[in-house]
Structure 1
Amino acid sequence: MSRWRGNPWAVLLTISLGFFLTLLDLTAVNVAIPSVIDDLHASLDEVLWVINIYVLVLAALLITFGRLGDVRGPRAMFIVGVALFTVASVLCALAQDPAQLIAARAGQGLGAAALVPQTMTIIIGTFPAERRGTALGVWGAVAGVATIAGPTLGGLLASAAGWRWIFLVNVPIGAIVLAMAVVLVPDIRHGVPHKLDILGVVLATATLVCLTFGLTEGQRYDWNAGIWALLGGAALLLVVFLIHQGTRQHGEPLLPFVLFRDRDYAVMSLVAATVQVGMIGLFLPVMIYLQSVLGFSALKAGLVMAPAMMVSAVLSPLAGRMADRIGGKYVLMAGLGLFAAGMAWLTWIIDVGRAWWEFQPALVVVGVGIGCVFGPMVAVAMYNVEPKMAGAASGVLNTIRQTGTVIGSAAVGAVLQNRLAASLQDEAAKQAADLPAGIRGQFTAGFDHAAESGLDIGAGQTGTAFQPPPGTPTSLVHYVQQAASSVFEHGFVHAMRPTLTLPIVVIAVGAVSCLLVRPRQDAAPRNAPDSVSAGTSA
């Protein structure tokens, strides 16, 4: 038995590496879309499923695996999750057609769902209350590092070695984490046997599948009757699930309502969703803007965001330590305020023809804000959670975060597409005024459906279907092409500003809601360190 077994910082390193794996693939695959389409002859619909299936499976099963961690032990479920994720990564790299890649990505989502809820549970069971904020700050810093490494590493690997290496790089890391988990992580048990609510699992999974599928695919299917039927089914299943859970509150419910009797946990659940809406609201339009409007490569676009995320990663443990000393309420409010302020600054300066360095001051403010959010947010949420409920609490909180990601992606995408359609029409009308009368109508008509392709990520995009008639002079063709590019660039910038306003408002709501958090001295933690017994079985 290793003398390092159960060492809090060794345990934290192990679970943080596992958490890093799941977040890395959440973002790295996005920049490899063109390569996957070319290599596997995939349609855009198929390659979008490569991205979405991972989030769908992850969001749908987090509550279930959080509770399974309570039943089987968080260490065991963490090991299972890492093993599943690593094997699925190999299958992703070996995929020979889109269907195989989608199935393997679903396996990655399954492994991530098993792994992620256990990370917070193990931190609670390993660290005493007075050091938990610092540990959760490190855990939060992992999100910042993964955010940097995802687009940057994905772009580098896709360019230099091929998209399959985005998945193969997970294999040695997964093997190392698996070995470390077996040797270092203790078997944390609370001495209370648990039972799994099977019907609750089925209802919760069905609810989240319908919700995440509907929200993820709604924009693509133009919010047709089938999508609204799915969302209505999710609402109905949610009601049935809540009624079922209400009848089991004196037994072993999958979703213990007692969690939400703690005001701090309830408020942090809302904040977790708002933070994810803010994150997707930042990265989705900004990454498209950097590549489609400014013409940056995927790698360069990732590097533009890197300094802000480095600042976030460095500050996150410090913010967690400060939350240990003075409570997370005011650290969290300051972080959310800076996050919103940085995004507002970014909204003000975006324009056509900007250089990469012009964004750095605003992005650094964003990075400082994000660095002050994740550790304190989780620390405040879990401060009063009993150890025996840690798995359920972690699963619910992470499910709400991922649901926030899906809702944010759908809402931000819908606003961007709606505003882009209008702004392209306006810009096309302005540019057409300088074109010969014979092609003005055809030029403006070419942008009628441009917003449908406006969310594609790629450099040099114009968004127009206009083709000059045969015999058009070369000089005029060149002029029309420049006009089309100008329409898209200025149209996207005009659409981006109201789009960024949505996440800014949502983050501000999260900041204000933190006023409801109780001051630290008024809350006596129920998860004191002596309430947890950590075994050392292998």
Structure 2
Amino acid sequence: MKKVFVIIAMSIGIFLCMLDTTVMNVALPTIQTSLNVKLNNLSWALNIYTILFATLTIPLGKIAERLGINKTYISGLIIFIVGSTFSALSNTLPILILGRALQSIGAAIVFPLSMSIGIASTDLTTRKKVIAILGITQGLAAALGPVIGGVLTQFLSWRWIFIINIPLSIISLFICLSTLELQENPKKEPIDFYGSSLSMLSLFALTLSLVQGRIWGWVSVRIISLLTFFTITLILFIIHENKTKYPMIPLELFKNREFTGSAITIVLSNLFLVAVTVVLPTYFVKIQNKTELEAALLITPITGMIFIFSPLAAILIDKLGSRAVIATGFL
């Protein structure tokens, strides 16, 4: 029973982290009116979450191994709660951006560690089911974000898209304090600070260029400089990781075809998910002048299909093999 509660807590953590990547999109016009700010400026409340999440996930996950995964996870939840509270109570754009930044730091800790703790809490016979549960939770959260954001904004207030995080995070925190072992034996190997710095700089430059490309211009000096900086730091990161004794990311993993194929598949499938859960709701509200509720309802079929076909895919993989099922999904 203890393992079940651990999986529930980890599912809540993953759900909240992914929910907050998309929950703001439908509410942006309402928040813009409420705070009386320009949409381009307000977009930083959305973008800061994406940029910090992408930049900090790998380094913070590695630091957690050194400090103790369970204790770090609980710290991440507390930071996420504080960030959600700041965001919900914000009356100015800087406070909202600060709240979103804190949320993102918390999410960068909670998201990867949720997978690690969830998988480590089970034996080999049930591990595949746990991975499927956590994966379905991730997809559902991203797809449900616009729906939840639209409903809460329409009937309550945009502040509720952040308030909803607080009780769910507290439930997860209580379960973690009750079930997780806090007297851990963390890894003693040193942290690769040079590799960590290079990975953060590289991911920051890439994410910022992708986020701001449309606004600054894809061939502007700033974007070209960022992409050049990304390329240089990525090359330096790969060279360093190949030589260091304690790498941030063991590069020999990419010699495994299944690992590399899985990584590419996850990246591409998340790109598709972003198109329908981030871009589409904004299109409905800003271009087609739908209400937040109408936009949410128009996204609901996507959520429904994820809910139906994710568990079916997990079952079919055992019978047909992963290649056939994943190839069908891409088609």
Structure 1 and Structure 2 fold alike (TM over 0.5): yes
Task: Kindly indicate whether the alpha-carbon contact (under 8 Å) linking 2:143 and 2:273 is maintained by their aligned counterparts in 1.
Answer: no
TM alignment of 1:168-179, pairs within 5 A: 168-179=163-174
Who is 2:18 aligned against?
A: 23
1:82–1:111: 8 Å Cα contact kept in structure 2? yes
C-alpha contact (below 8 Å) 1:200/1:245 kept by paired residues:
yes
Distance 1:106 1:259, change over 3 A: same
Question: Structure 1 pair 253/301, CA: closer, same or farther in 2 (3 Å)?
Answer: same
* Residue 228 (structure 2) aligns with: 232
Question: 2:71 maps to which residue?
Answer: 76
Q: Work out which of the residue numbers 291, 300, 314 in structure 2 matches 1:297.
A: 291
Segment of structure 1 superposing worse, 123-132 or 38-47: 123-132
Cα distance, 1:310 vs structure 2: 2.4
> Whole-Å Cα distance in 1 between the matches of residues 185 and 137 of structure 2?
27
**Match of 2:22, as an amino acid?**
T
Higher helix share: 2
Give 4+ residue runs of structure 1 displaced > 4 Å after superposition: 186-192, 292-295, 324-327
Deviation per residue, 1:376-421 (Å, 9 max, x gap): xxxxxxxxxxxxxxxxxxxxxxxxxxxxxxxxxxxxxxxxxxxxxx
**2: distance between equivalents of 1:112 and 1:274?**
21
Q: One-letter code of the match for 1:237?
A: T
How many corresponding residue pairs?
330
Tell whether the 8 Å contact from 2:25 to 2:281 is kept in structure 1 after alignment: no
2:49–2:100 CA contact under 8 A, matched in 1: yes
Contact persistence 1:144–1:310 (CA under 8 A): no
For residue 60 of structure 2, what is the aligned residue in structure 1?
A: 65
- Give 1:187 shift: 5.7
Q: In 1, are the aligned partners of 2:80 and 2:102 still within 8 Å (CA)?
A: yes
Does the residue aligned with 2:216 lie in a helix, a strand or coil?
Answer: coil
* Partner residue in 2 for 1:103: 98
Aligned counterparts of 1:95 and 1:36: Cα–Cα separation in 2: 11
1:195-253 deviations in Å (ceiling 9; x for gaps): 211121111111111111111101101121012111111111111222221221xx211
Question: Residues 20 and 142 of structure 1 are in contact (CA less than 8 Å); yes or no, is this contact kept in structure 2?
Answer: yes
- State the secondary structure of the residue aligned to 1:252: coil
Give the distance between the partners of 1:329 and 1:216, measured in 2 at CA. Answer: 32
Whether 2:318 is the aligned partner of 1:313: answer no
Q: Hey, what does 1:336 align to over in structure 2?
A: 330
Letter in 2 for 1:303: L
**3-state DSSP of counterpart to 2:214:** coil
Q: Aligned-pair distance for 1:288?
A: 4.4
Match runs of 1:106-505 below 5 Å: 106-186=101-181, 193-223=188-218, 224-248=220-244, 251-291=245-285, 295-324=289-318, 327-337=321-331
User: 1:38: which partner in 2?
Assistant: 33
Specify which structure has the bigger relative contact order, considering alpha-carbon pairs within 8 angstroms and separated by 6 or more residues: 2
* Aligned equivalents of 1:138, 1:109: Cα separation in 2: 23
Give the deviation of 1:266 after TM superposition.
Answer: 0.9
Q: Secondary structure at the match of 1:219?
A: helix
Equivalent residues of 2:11, 2:137 under 8 A apart? yes
Q: Is the 8 A contact 2:153 2:292 kept in 1?
A: no
TM-score, normalization: structure 2?
0.92
> 1:240, 1:160 → 2: CA distance?
50
Tell me, in whole angstroms, the C-alpha distance in 1 between the residues paired with 2:229 and 2:289. Answer: 42
Name the Cα RMSD after superposition. Answer: 2.2
- Following superposition, the deviation at residue 330 of structure 1 comes to 2.6
Contact 2:68 / 2:186 at 8 angstroms: preserved in 1? Answer: no
SS of aligned partner of 1:163: coil
Paired letter, 2:291? S
Conservation of the 8 A alpha-carbon contact between 2:143 and 2:277: no
Distance in 2 separating the partners of 1:49 and 1:10: 36
How far apart in 1 are the matches of 2:87 and 2:282?
25
Unaligned runs of 5+ in 2: none
Unmatched tracts of structure 1, length 5 or more: 338-538
CA distance in 1, matches of 2:183, 2:301: 37
- 8 Å CA contact retained: 2:32, 2:39: yes
Conserved? CA contact 2:65–2:186, under 8 Å: no
d(CA) in 2 for partners of 1:213 and 1:59? 10
Q: Report the AA paired with residue 93 of structure 1.
A: A
The superposition leaves residues 52-80 of structure 1 with CA deviations (integer Å, 9 ceiling, x where unpaired) of 00000000011112212322332222212
